[in-house]
Amino acid sequence: MPPDLTALRRRLQQALGEEFTVGALLGEGGFAAVFRVRDKALSRDLAVKVLDLGLTPSSSLAERFVREARTIARLEHPHIVPIHKVGGYRNEILYIAMRCVDGPSLRQLLERYQRLSVGDAARIARQVADALAYAHGQGVVHRDIKPDNILLDASGHVLVTDFGIAKAAHDATPAQLTTEGMVVGTPQYMSPEQATGERADDRSDIYGLGIVLYQMLTGAPPFDGESAQQILMKQATVEPVPIRQVRNDVPEALAVVLHRMLEKDPAQRYQTAEDASQAIVHALPSAARERVKVRPRVGLGGAGCLGLAAFGAGVAVAGYALLSDHPRISARTPIPDSVASFARRAAPVPREDSLLYVFAPHGERQRMLVVTNRHIVALTSAGSRTYPRDGLTLRYALRFSVRKPLYGVLLLIPEGGSPDTLFADLSPRELYAVARSVAAVHQ
């Protein structure tokens, strides 16, 4: 049951008082929401995460969440999102006020660019490693390093968030986690020891960062599957495809560093995040620079505040990242495993066909274009249609209307048949992306 946002906003305003103004909703999920809040006295915006205690499955988890958030609030590092205040109101809500980072999360950058330059990926990984080294020195292990929890501000500076949430979740008993249906961590980024139920330590964060670095370089994490159980089994038993087999412009020295970060045996990994940071810089000296060069495109500004909300199964624990919530997709060969699994489950793609291009403008299963070596599959709310590639024409058009000044239309025109309107509301950017990509795979 989602929180009553009107009541939650009102109670948050009452809790914070007249010195603050509760503004726009930045995100919601489980039993929590995040609001942008204006601090009038200091003339700054905060991201305030609010837990509805009436919806939390366990009062002990909520209490532990606040206790750990207060611990994390003492962390002061340039690459860690600072927590400014922790409080509550009449045993109805709990809230955590954090810096509002007006920039994208790494997940949002990867949605837009799919993969990053080697230099940017190394710089991001090094800054995260520095944040982890500091936190580990304070006795705090993150346990849920993933692209959602890595933010970039407007200057290209990297910040890590949600330390307290991961720590609070870890301290829950196995019985609580089982009976409440919750999971500590996200399967695609969990270390082998987390996957097998062992206690995580500093080296688990190093493994998680290795997964993130692999994804930044290739466009997808190394392990995915039809279910969380399959993914966890791979984390524990399967070796990732060597990075240079997937992307040959990765320097050999950086490939060696990444391989060690992803060792199954914690004893074979770097033993400290500081060692990992130094190894990254030794392999690629430009990783020592602070500023990440990649810039978010239009539409990503201000998203970092939302990036602070790692909802999933609820704010006190990190949930599974479900493929049904996959972001906007425009991916051509080599198709990342996660996108391929998403497409094959959603669309009737012949098993023997090779995927060449997948386009889902809103990341929905109900609206998708899939191009294979032999077929083109159209998926809409009205059903699916499969056409042979030979004899099928794709036609693109920009149209105008009073309601929507400029929008794109994609038509499939089979030889001797009637036009099939697949998409009728694409943005010009989306229309350009699909037209360019389809032309590329047809060459």
pLDDT band per the 50, 70, 90 thresholds, residue 311: very low
Q: Are residues 123 and 31 in the same domain?
A: no
Is residue 378 within 8 A of residue 412, CB to CB? The reply is yes
Identify the domain boundary among 45, 77, 99.
99
Quote the CA–CA distance of 152 and 160 in Å, as a whole number.
9
* CATH number, domain with residue 20: 3.30.200.20
**Both tokens of residue 93?**
């809500």
Q: Cβ–Cβ contacts within 10 Å for residue 384, how many?
A: 15
Q: Are residues 219 and 253 in the same domain?
A: yes
Is residue 336 within 8 A of residue 218, CB to CB? The reply is yes
Q: Are residues 131 and 90 in the same domain?
A: no
Q: Are residues 222 and 187 in the same domain?
A: yes
Residue with tokens 């499955």: 57
- The residue segments making up the domain with residue 60 are 5-99
Identify the domain boundary among 322, 355, 371.
322
Domain count, the chain: 3
Strands (E), 263-381: 329-332, 355-360, 368-372, 375-380
Q: Are residues 289 and 309 in the same domain?
A: yes
Quote the CA–CA distance of 272 and 349 in Å, as a whole number.
45
Q: Are residues 166 and 289 in the same domain?
A: yes
**Which DSSP state fits 200?**
P
Q: Are residues 300 and 211 in the same domain?
A: yes
Q: What is the mean pLDDT of residues 388-401?
A: 76
Residue 175: pLDDT above 80?
no
Is residue 49 within 8 A of residue 34, CB to CB? The reply is yes
Catalytic amino acids? 144
The overall pTM is greater than 0.95: no
Q: Are residues 317 and 342 in the same domain?
A: no
* Residue 399: its H or E element: strand 392-399
328: left (phi over 0), alpha (psi -120 to 50) or beta: beta
Beta 32-39 vs 20-29: how paired, if at all?
antiparallel
Q: Are residues 157 and 79 in the same domain?
A: no
Quote the CA–CA distance of 201 and 235 in Å, as a whole number.
16
Angle between helices 252-261 and 273-283 (to 10 degrees): 160
Q: What is the mean pLDDT of residues 291-320?
A: 46
Identify the domain boundary among 64, 99, 134.
99
Q: Are residues 126 and 180 in the same domain?
A: yes
Q: Are residues 78 and 15 in the same domain?
A: yes
**Mean pLDDT of the chain, nearest integer:** 80
What three-state secondary structure class fits 208? Answer: helix
Residue 224: pLDDT above 60?
yes
pLDDT band per the 50, 70, 90 thresholds, residue 341: confident
pLDDT digits (tens, 9 = 90+) for 67-89: 667 777 888 899 998 888 888 87
pLDDT score, position 264: 96
Q: Are residues 262 and 135 in the same domain?
A: yes
**Closest alpha carbon to 331 in 295, 371, 300:** 371
